Amino acid sequence: METKKKILIVEDEKNIAMVLAYNIKKEGFECDIAYDGEDGLTKAITGSYDLILLDIMLPKMNGFEVCEKIRYKSQVPIIFVTAKEEEKDKIFGLETGADDYVTKPFSFRELLARIRVNIRRSSGEVVRAAVQEAPAGSLLTVGELVIDQEHYSVTKNGEPIELSKKDYDLIALLAENVGKVFTREDLLEKVWGYDDYFGDIRTVDVTVSRLRKKIEKDPAKPEYIMSKRGVGYYLCAR
Ligand code: CA
């Protein structure tokens, strides 16, 4: 039998946490709860989870900080589950390394769809499907970048670049199709596995800007990840 995927809920409102846990278990996942940020961080780092649902306003340590600290150690998919609706919070959440966010109130069906997509994507299935023409384990070289498809890692001039899973998926897809322009909608579908209903194209922009900070000499004047105004993004052949 396939082992159950394990989800960590970090949420200080006990009612919400319990209802979530109940519903998530009913869908066949295992589930743990942490009621504050510190406990959430400890569990996230010491336990082995397939996905983390992370609240923002938490006692002891807020969700942004928890997310940043988890990212030093792990690429586990993180979805912010938050009452904060302000755009800047969403953007900031993604910049701290989260993979996605859901704003309260949300339907459990929507959350479940996002959980499934993020777990599937994290296991590499979505990207493998998107870059199916790439032989497994091959190295892609673009300028000073080397994308190692066997180890899901990227180096620049031989120096490893710290990337979240989503950063990696995006750069790998672009590198596999150097020069080809992808629309934001294309990228949402291929990298995030979302259809139009769940997708938010700003997620793509934020991820691109995060990625540029990591790989470009001057993120304001990118030499690798180029924008095609009004269309989308492509990786420049160098
Ligand atoms: Ca809270």
Q: What is the mean pLDDT of the chain?
A: 85
How far away, in angstroms, is 127 Cα from ligand 1 center?
33
Burial class of residue 44 in the structure, from the number of CB atoms within 10 Å of its CB (0-12 exposed, 13-18 middle, 19+ buried)? buried
Q: What structural domains and CATH numbers belong to the chain?
A: 6-123 (3.40.50.2300), 139-235 (1.10.10.10)
How far away, in angstroms, is 165 Cα from ligand 1 center?
26
How far away, in angstroms, is 215 Cα from ligand 1 center?
34
pLDDT at 134: 46
Q: Give this prediction's pTM.
A: 0.60
How far away, in angstroms, is 67 Cα from ligand 1 center?
15
Most confident of 27-41, 178-192, 199-213: 27-41
How far away, in angstroms, is 81 Cα from ligand 1 center?
9
Three-state SS letters, the chain: CCCCCEEEEECCCHHHHHHHHHHHHHCCCEEEEECCHHHHHHHHHHCCCCEEEECCCCCCCCHHHHHHHHHHHCCCCEEEEECCCCHHHHHHHHHCCCCEEEECCCCHHHHHHHHHHHHHHHCCHHHHHHCCCCCCCCEEEECCEEEECCCCEEEECCEEECCCHHHHHHHHHHHHCCCCCEEHHHHHHHHHCCCCCCCCCHHHHHHHHHHHHHHCCCCCCCCCEEEECCCEEEECCC
Residue 85 has pLDDT above 60, yes or no: yes
Q: How many CB atoms lie within 10 A of CB 147?
A: 25
How far away, in angstroms, is 55 Cα from ligand 1 center?
6
Handedness of CA 181, 185, 186, 192 (dihedral sign): positive
How far away, in angstroms, is 29 Cα from ligand 1 center?
23
Which of 35, 29, 42 has its CA nearest to residue 15? Answer: 35
How far away, in angstroms, is 9 Cα from ligand 1 center?
11
How far away, in angstroms, is 13 Cα from ligand 1 center?
6
How far away, in angstroms, is 200 Cα from ligand 1 center?
24
Confidence of residue 103 (pLDDT cuts 50, 70, 90): confident
Q: State pLDDT tens for residues 58-67.
A: 999 999 999 9
